[in-house]
Amino acid sequence: MPRVKIVTPKQIPQPYRSLLVHDTDMTLTLERHFGDRVTLRPLSTFTSGRSYFRRVLLVQKYSGRPVEMGAIRIRLDVFSQQLRSKILRNKIPLGRLLRDGKFNYESRVKSYLCITPNAEMMGVFWMREVRILYGRRTEVIHNQTKIGDIVEVLPLVFQ
C-alpha cells in the first residue's frame, strides 16, 4: 500500500494546490489545466449491493499520459437508467457524465493527501523514482445525501 498522510491545503505545493483545492469536479479542472479532454481507462470494477466500485486512470486524450488515478464508490440507484448505463460502460469520466447529464450534485472535499507511492502506483504513473504525490478524498452529495466517495491522486505535475 502507498503511505498516505493527511495534510492541509497550505502544505500542498503548486501546481498541485490549484488542481486539488477547489469545489469543482476534477475532470473539468484537469481538462482546463492540460488543455484537452481526458479519457478514462478502467483498472478494476465491481458491484456490491447498490454500490459500484471502480479504480480508473484519467489520461490525456492526445498523448495517453496519466493525469489522475481515482478510486470511486458510487450508489447506482440514484441515477436514471440511461446515466447508470453510461457509468457502467467505463468510457467517460464520472465528472463529465454527471455534468453533461445535468445531474445535480456537489463534491465535498473531506481531506487532502500526501502520498508516497508504492510500486504499482509508480508504474501506472510512469515514475522511475519515488517522489511525493498529492491527492484528495471527496464525498459526492445529491439532494443532501452522500451517494459516493472518491479518492483522487495526481501524478507528478509540473507548471
Mind listing the pLDDT tens digit for each residue in 81-132? 999 999 999 999 999 999 999 999 999 999 999 999 999 999 999 999 999 9
The full 3-state SS of 63-81, as one line of letters, equals CCCEEEEEEEEEECCCCCH
User: Mean pLDDT in the chain?
Assistant: 94
Determine, yes or no, domain membership for 91.
Answer: yes
Determine, yes or no, domain membership for 13.
Answer: yes
Of the candidates 115, 120, 110, the one whose C-alpha atom is nearest the C-alpha of residue 149 is 110
Q: Check residue 62 and give its pLDDT.
A: 87
pLDDT, average across residues 36-55: 95
What is the CATH classification number for the domain harbouring 59? 3.40.1410.10
pTM for this prediction: 0.92
Determine, yes or no, domain membership for 49.
Answer: yes
Give the total number of structural domains in the chain: 1
What is the band of 25 on the pLDDT scale with cuts at 50, 70, 90? confident
Determine, yes or no, domain membership for 47.
Answer: yes
Determine, yes or no, domain membership for 9.
Answer: yes
Record the cell numbers describing residue 48, joined without a space. Answer: 456490491
- Residue 72: is its pLDDT beyond 80? yes
- Between 5-9, 30-34, 44-48, the lowest mean confidence (pLDDT) is in 30-34
Q: Check residue 39 and give its pLDDT.
A: 94
Determine, yes or no, domain membership for 159.
Answer: no
Domain that holds residue 108: 3-154
